[in-house]
Amino acid sequence: MDYSFSMFLEERKNSGYKVIKRSINPVYRKLLSNKKRYLHLFGGAGSGKSVFAAQKMIIRLMTEEKHRILLIRKVARTIRHSQFSLLKALIFMGELGEKFKINEADLRITSLINGNEFISAGLDDREKLKSIFGITSIWVEEATELEYKDFSQLDLRLRGRSKNYKQIVLTYNPVNAHHWLNTKHFKDEFKFRTTFKDNKYIDEQYISVLKNLKEQDEEYYNIYALGEWGVLKNVIYRPFAVVNIFPAEYDEVIYGLDFGYNNQTALMEVNIKDKIFYLNELIYECGLTNSDLISRLKDLNIKRGSYIYCDSAEANRIEELKRAGFNVLQADKSVKDGIDYLKTCKIISNPDNTGINKEVLSYCYKQDKDGKLFDEPVKFNDHAMDAIRYAIYTHFKKRKEPKIRILQ
């Protein structure tokens, strides 16, 4: 999704700052003063949850004293392209750029006015988490990624005296009604549900994607368009095994690429060893143009000869990548055969692959409201799944088993 934000915090002539309410989605405005310890912003996709969480955090950081706000996700690496980039976009487009120092390496943002700061940590980074003191509030993005024990640990870190109210803001989609975020209840919590209808800035194209879910799958529609807790049925793959350590060498390495702009561009590395597929999620991000993508491919040092299997509907983008010297090939997009093939493969993921690990849990066959089941998947949150299938199926479909080639 494209960011275009206006100023939401203006410096007063005499002193202090004034919140420009019209830049904040109306339904959220009353939450600026909500002081509950646990503030849940949950609901459908594109409802403005993350943007409001970021706005509230910046406003508090600029207008209250002695803040150290922690940005949390399950995996540290994913903070850069979610909370951190959103905060930066709001700061720069909101003309607050000169009031902050941004430390890209550390994912830290410091106010030059009052010394308050945003710091970042993933739950995968236990040592860093342990070394962080004096937290005054927390924003957990994609909170359903967290297990309850992760959350309790975090909760414990937000203790002690502080000048202003302490709050944990949790942003998430209600994907699984059995999740602790739905079943557990806390003292001093406020749960606020929103849908795309509450976001006056949402674009028409995204609205039609969400409305179209109704034609595809009732449960998906309930979760992502209506923002209701659901339980996804007809999940296609068993969750991939997740391991921390991959082999040091492989027989072969191939890539799958699904182009996106409003949606995620997904570049997946498929490492093959003894007929087992080890996945690395190299890119999983919205808003990448083709030239952004080309420079990312160069930065990733992808060998010019490596096979990159892409979405064959995007002939122009494929041609541009070829001209930049990459060995891109059109993927075979036979969905049913591809899925059936992948179901026979041994596929392994790692904890850093948040896009893959999330999509695989909600990648479902369509089922209409009369209960009729289709053998094609719901077209939503499927970019990593597509990219993996493009690579594995196209590369191996004509062979009985994965071809093993020793890399130079």
Ligand X SMILES: Nc1ncnc2c1ncn2[C@@H]1O[C@H](COP(=O)(O)OP(=O)(O)OP(=O)(O)O)[C@@H](O)[C@H]1O
- Binding residues for ligand X, per CB under 6 A? 1, 3, 5, 23-25, 45-51, 171, 173, 199, 201-202
Mapping DSSP to helix (H, G, I), strand (E, B) and coil, where does residue 4 land?
A: coil
Give min distance, CB of 277 to ligand X, in A. 28
| Residue spans of beta strands (DSSP E) within 146-215 | 167-172, 189-194
- Residue 46 binds what, of ligand X, Mg ion, none (CB under 5 to 8 Å, by partner type)? ligand X
User: Considering the complex, what minimum distance in angstroms separates the CB of residue 194 from ligand X?
Assistant: 7
**C-beta of 50 vs 353, nearer to Mg ion:** 50
Alpha carbon distances (Å) from 360 to 62, 199, 236, 238, 356: 39, 28, 8, 8, 6
Q: Does 195 bind Mg ion (CB under 5 A)?
A: no
Rule CB under 5 A: choose which of 47, 50, 264, 381 binds Mg ion. 50
Shortest Cβ contact with Mg ion: which residue? 50
Query: Count of residues binding Mg ion (CB under 5 A)?
Result: 1
Q: Choose between 269 and 285: whose C-beta lies nearer to ligand X.
A: 285
Nearer to ligand X, 5 or 374 (CB): 5
Closest approach of ligand X to the CB of residue 233, in Å: 21
Q: Determine the Cα–Cα distance for residues 44 and 174; give it in Å rounded to an integer.
A: 8
Question: Smaller CB distance to ligand X: residue 95 or 320?
Answer: 95
Which run of H or E residues covers position 17? strand 17-19
- CB of 55 vs ligand X, minimal distance in Å: 7
Binding partner of residue 366 among ligand X, Mg ion, none, CB under 5 to 8 Å per kind?
Answer: none
- Taking the C-alpha atoms of residue 273 and residue 262, their distance in angstroms, rounded to an integer, is 34
Q: Which stretch binds Mg ion (CB under 5 A): 49-57, 85-93, 248-256, 388-396?
A: 49-57
Which lies closer to ligand X via its Cβ, residue 213 or residue 347?
A: 213
What is the spatial distance between Cα 38 and Cα 139, in angstroms, rounded to a whole number? 10
CA distance 101 to 117: 9
**Residue 49 Cβ vs Mg ion, minimum distance, rounded to whole Å:** 5
Q: Are 257 and 308 in contact (CB under 8 A)?
A: yes
Name the strand (E) or helix (H) holding 58: helix 49-63
Which residues have C-beta within 8 Å of that of residue 272, sequence separation ≥ 6? 250, 251, 252, 253, 254, 278, 402, 404
Q: Looking at 27-35, 47-55, 210-218, 303-311, which segment touches Mg ion (CB under 5 A)?
A: 47-55
Q: How does strand 117-122 pair with strand 108-111?
A: antiparallel
When the beta carbons of 24 and 308 are compared against ligand X, the nearer one is 24
Considering the complex, what minimum distance in angstroms separates the CB of residue 31 from ligand X? Answer: 13
